[in-house]
């Protein structure tokens, strides 16, 4: 019986097909793994920011940010259901006293209240528990002082969603350690700045594990560049 000679061209063709399929499968499973981490991170958010406003007048710096955060709020590694928030923060080079009243105008909505004094830095804070709706600016009145807070977030190169995606990719290996059974951590997206320079605003993304582990990354809000991880 004659032995059939194998055509080298056919062999190489089959090898190319095998390598191609293996490469596709490898990329697919890598993408699925990455997507899985991103999906878990997105599903375990305890706080994120939608809009950020800032204004300065009469030696008073005011900022307002809105979004959603867990309720009750507790950095314990467990993500709770989210509710709307809108936090107004005021810092002054001089004391404004106690029981300071404010009026905040957001589009056609008006809010009034009394500031609480932060025990950490003596700033004045108030939560109006409402979203801005991407207004161009908001108006804050404290006594006879009026401060216009401009929407700086509309010019950011990244938002909370993009910051989360970048965070998940950078820390994919570490975040996978939370995924043995359930995702045993919660994730926060905060805006931080020195509140004096509109160009020094950052997104701070941090995950807190149930055993106290902390993973964090700081992104420049205007460029999307990683500043610290």
Q: What is the CB neighbour count within 10 angstroms for residue 79? A: 18
- The reply to whether 138 falls in a domain is yes
The string over 191-221, giving b where at least 16 C-beta atoms fall within 10 Å of a residue's C-beta and e elsewhere, is bebebeebeebbbbbbbbbeeeeebebbbbb
- The reply to whether 223 falls in a domain is yes
Q: How many structural domains does the chain have?
A: 2
- Reported as a single tens digit per residue, the pLDDT across 91-115 is 998 889 999 999 999 998 999 999 9
Q: Is residue 117 located within the same domain as residue 146?
A: yes
Q: Is residue 144 located within the same domain as residue 79?
A: yes
Q: Token digits for 111? A: 């809010």
Residues ≥6 apart with Cβ < 8 Å to 88: 62, 63, 64, 102, 104, 115, 125, 126, 127, 128, 140
pTM for this predicted structure:
0.79
Q: Which of 153, 184, 218 is the last residue of a domain?
A: 153
Mean pLDDT for all residues in the chain: 83
Q: Is residue 149 located within the same domain as residue 159?
A: no
Q: Is residue 61 located within the same domain as residue 71?
A: yes
DSSP code, position 141: E
- The reply to whether 108 falls in a domain is yes
Task: Give pLDDT, residue 180.
Answer: 62
- The top-scoring range by mean pLDDT among 29-33, 41-45, 192-196 is 41-45
Q: Which domain holds residue 126?
A: 51-153
Query: Nearest-CA neighbor of 42 among 226, 212, 207, 224?
Result: 207
Q: Which of 153, 177, 200 is the last residue of a domain?
A: 153
Residues ≥6 apart with Cβ < 8 Å to 179: 36, 37, 40
């Amino acid at each position: 019986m004659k032995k059939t000679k194998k055509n080298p061209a056919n062999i190489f063709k089959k090898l190319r097909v095998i390598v191609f399929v293996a490469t596709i499968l490898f990329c697919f499973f890598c993408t699925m793994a990455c997507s899985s981490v991103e999906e878990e991170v997105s599903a375990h958010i305890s706080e994120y920011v939608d809009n950020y406003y800032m204004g300065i007048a009469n030696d008073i710096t005011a900022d307002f940010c809105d979004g959603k955060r867990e309720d009750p709020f507790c950095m314990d590694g467990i993500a709770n259901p989210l509710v709307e928030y809108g936090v107004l923060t005021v810092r002054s080079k001089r004391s404004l006293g106690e029981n300071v009243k404010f009026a905040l105008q957001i589009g056609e909505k008006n809010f009034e209240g009394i500031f609480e004094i932060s025990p950490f830095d003596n700033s004045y804070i108030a939560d109006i528990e409402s979203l801005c709706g991407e207004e161009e600016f908001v108006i804050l009145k404290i006594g006879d002082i009026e401060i216009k807070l401009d929407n700086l977030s509309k010019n950011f190169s990244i938002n909370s969603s993009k910051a989360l995606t970048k965070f998940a990719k950078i820390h994919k290996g570490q975040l996978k350690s939370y995924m043995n059974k359930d995702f045993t951590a919660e994730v926060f997206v905060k805006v931080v700045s020195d509140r004096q320079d509109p160009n020094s605003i950052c997104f701070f993304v941090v995950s807190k594990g149930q055993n106290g582990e902390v993973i964090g990354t700081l992104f420049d809000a205007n460029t999307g560049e990683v500043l610290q991880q």
